[in-house]
Amino acid sequence: MTARLWLGLLALPAWAHVVSMSSGDLTIQGTHAKYELRMPLYEIAHTAHPETALLEHVRFSGARLTKSACHAESSREAYICDAEYEFTTPPDRVDAECTLASITVPSHVHFLRAEMGGKQDQGMFDLNFTRVTLRFRPPSAAEIGLMEATGGFQRALGGPVQILFLAALALAARNRGELLRISLMFLAGQAAAVLIVPHTTWQPAPRFVEAAAALTVAYLAVEILLLPKAGARWLIAGVLGVFHGLFFYLFLQAAGYRPGFVLAGAFAAEISVIGVLAALLARVLRWSQAVRVSASALLVFGMVWFILRLRS
């Protein structure tokens, strides 16, 4: 059973991007609407006929597509689609549906910003949340905080790859005290990256973030295998947290959310999952070879993922 589980995990790098995001802007004037979709070029590499497929997976209730055009913009490494819609009557709210995750990768997130009559609203879509109602009214402070924290919670657990990262941290801890130190340093590393990188001139590319994270997983696995008694694993957890923080930095850039609420939601999700995984692993690790088998699977996973991301 354990072997089958790890074989399934090793197949994840073939499809699971950690950083998979797109954005769009919708502007409505009377019955006329303009929409611009921006998708990273690497996301459409395996999408057949992206000039039509992308817009087919973004829909606005009561609106009819009248014109569209798509083109690649190499300078921004983006694929851009411009579309125009007509409503039968001027809307007071719009039900938007986005299923882009079904034609890109399961962890894909789309951010939609909308404006009508000087009023703005926004929505976030992923594989599980495909519908949003745009009401074009100023949200309350509580609604904004809840939305941004929920976004952080969802992104922390956006796919099996993120959960596998947390499993690796739980596996690296040899006792409860070390688990606590590793977890806290992991969270601190994420926060450091989110708060410091915006004040630098560095703009990490999504491909770099994924490849670096893959190597970090592989390094952690090597330490578990070859240095089972090594100390200061909390330092490694801090480095791993920095690369996860880069992912949240890119997420914040695309969404325009505030770091505090997003990190609060992400930390709540990660602490909960680490606790559950640590309890589960405590039972599995009673088998003397379980640690080595699990770490070996993580090593292969990290290296395969790294190679695939360099080639994507």
Total structural domains within the chain? 2
Residue type, 33: A
Written as one string, the DSSP assignment of 137-204 is SPPPHHHHHHHHHHHHHHHHTSSHHHHHHHHHHHHH-SSHHHHHHHHHHHHHHHHHHHHHGGGSS---
Written as one string, the DSSP assignment of 222-257 is HHHHH-TT-S-HHHHHHHHHHHHHHHHHHHHHHH--
So what's the pLDDT on residue 160?
A: 66
Q: Which of 107, 138, 169 is the last residue in one of the domains? A: 138
Instruction: Based on the fold, state whether residues 204 and 94 are members of the same structural domain.
Output: no
Instruction: Based on the fold, state whether residues 106 and 231 are members of the same structural domain.
Output: no
In a domain? residue 11: no
Instruction: Based on the fold, state whether residues 43 and 73 are members of the same structural domain.
Output: yes
Instruction: Based on the fold, state whether residues 89 and 182 are members of the same structural domain.
Output: no
pTM tops 0.85, yes or no: no
Q: Please state, as a whole number, how many other Cβ atoms lie within 10 Å of the Cβ of residue 307.
A: 13
Instruction: Based on the fold, state whether residues 187 and 307 are members of the same structural domain.
Output: yes
Instruction: Based on the fold, state whether residues 221 and 250 are members of the same structural domain.
Output: yes
Average pLDDT, consecutive stretches of 10 residues, N- to C-terminus, the chain (312 residues)? 45 54 94 95 82 95 96 84 96 95 86 91 89 86 90 81 80 88 95 95 84 79 80 85 90 89 96 90 68 80 77 64
So what's the pLDDT on residue 148?
A: 92
Instruction: Based on the fold, state whether residues 120 and 221 are members of the same structural domain.
Output: no
So what's the pLDDT on residue 203?
A: 87
Instruction: Based on the fold, state whether residues 198 and 276 are members of the same structural domain.
Output: yes
Domain range holding 193?
Answer: 156-311
In a domain? residue 143: no
Instruction: Based on the fold, state whether residues 132 and 161 are members of the same structural domain.
Output: no
Is residue 220 within 8 A of residue 241, CB to CB? The reply is no
Instruction: Based on the fold, state whether residues 125 and 247 are members of the same structural domain.
Output: no
So what's the pLDDT on residue 5?
A: 43
Is residue 217 within 8 A of residue 236, CB to CB? The reply is no
Instruction: Based on the fold, state whether residues 191 and 257 are members of the same structural domain.
Output: yes
